[in-house]
Amino acid sequence: MTAQLIDGKAIAAKVRAELKDDVAAMIARVGRPPGIAVVRVGDDPASKVYVTSKEKTALELGFGSWHHHLEATVTQAELMALVRRLNADPAVDGILVQLPLPRHLDANAVLEAIDPAKDVDGFHALNAGLLFQGRPRLVACTPAGVMRMLEEIGFDPAGRNCVVVGRSNIVGRPMGLLLLNASATVTICHSKSDVAAEVRRADLVVAAVGVPKLITGDFIKPGAVVIDVGMNRTPEGKLVGDVDFEPARERASFITPVPGGVGPMTIAMLMSNTVTAAKARTS
Ligand code: GUN
């Protein structure tokens, strides 16, 4: 079997197209578009690429968009003061503080300072807790994007063995909870797991560890759905996922490419969360 590719670019474009009507409706209703503020600290090159792409998409959709770029030497107090200012700004519906932050800053304290109603990353403990309880409000963008991709290919997780590789707060944990909330039987693997044994039983594999080719082709159960969240740079500068793509493709039913798979979905879902937050704040 050669897997069908899941075209993240096309699905992300569909999500963005759906949002255009929401933007127009909001302007008609409250006289302004949804607004997102992105905060970037320091000069991490990958963060700069992500943030530029987020801003470009927000502007294309006609959102209000603000970018705050702070020096790497900014103090915790200064960063917290900016977050409080954005919390109080009525034109800002969504606040995103790009991670990672420089080491001298306490990222958890910053994320907890964001108004949960504006937490379009879904990283605040309140939003993470609501997801944990099965009553999600604002959900982390990458796992939300994966769920949308599964919907698009007609994969219903209910009763299926779904294996998430990675337990980060950004992807692995919320991914596991979304799948659990969709009635999957969920396994979350980490550095102490027998990853090969767990993945071999999986009807769905979501790889989110950041280790190139950790998931080799022989791990994949024939017919499984393979979602690769990994974004790793090879020494030659090529972008590769966590899955050894070509051999996995020969066994899976559906697989995401890297790039062009999950990547484009994250930003589309960020825009979707901003619309959700804007609607909730203005209704
Ligand atoms: N760094 C890597 N991924 C993300 C993300 O989804 N949101 C934020 N804020 N930072 C990130």
The protein residue whose alpha carbon is closest to atom 9 in ligand 1 is: 98
**Helix axes 262-282 and 45-60, enclosed angle (nearest 10):** 60
| Atom from ligand 1 closest to the CA of residue 97 | 9
| Atom from ligand 1 closest to the CA of residue 266 | 6
Ligand 1 and 121: CB distance under 6 A: yes
One-character DSSP codes across 39-89: EEES--HHHHHHHHHHHHHHHHTT-EEEEEEE-TT--HHHHHHHHHHHHH-
Predicted local distance difference test score (pLDDT) of residue 89 = 98
**Helix axes 262-282 and 141-153, enclosed angle (nearest 10):** 110
Question: Which residues are tagged catalytic?
Answer: 54, 98, 121
| Long-range pairs for 177-180: beta carbons < 8 A, 24 or more residues apart | 177/131, 177/132, 178/131, 178/136, 178/139, 178/143, 178/144, 178/146, 178/147, 179/147, 179/204, 179/206
Predicted local distance difference test score (pLDDT) of residue 208 = 98
Ligand 1 center–CA 279 separation, angstroms: 23
Predicted local distance difference test score (pLDDT) of residue 188 = 98
- Residues of the chain with pLDDT below 70 are none
| Atom from ligand 1 closest to the CA of residue 142 | 6
Ligand 1 and 170: CB distance under 6 A: yes
pLDDT in tens, 47-73: 999 999 999 999 999 999 999 999 999
Ligand 1 center–CA 186 separation, angstroms: 24
Q: Which domains does the chain have, with CATH numbers?
A: 30-115 (3.40.50.10860), 141-263 (3.40.50.720)
Helices (H), 92-220: 107-113, 125-132, 141-153, 172-181, 195-200
| Atom from ligand 1 closest to the CA of residue 140 | 6
Q: How many CA atoms lie within 13 A of 218 on its CB side?
A: 2
Measured between alpha carbons, how far is 96 from 260 in angstroms, rounded to an integer?
A: 23
Question: DSSP character for 115?
Answer: -
Nearest Cα neighbor of 161 from 202, 210, 104 is: 202
Q: 3-class DSSP state for residue 192?
A: coil
Give kind and range of the element (H or E) at residue 13: helix 8-30
Predicted local distance difference test score (pLDDT) of residue 1 = 80
Ligand 1 center–CA 262 separation, angstroms: 13
Ligand 1 and 107: CB distance under 6 A: no
Ligand 1 and 276: CB distance under 6 A: no
The predicted model scores a pTM of 0.98
Distance of CA 37 to the CA centre of its chain: 17
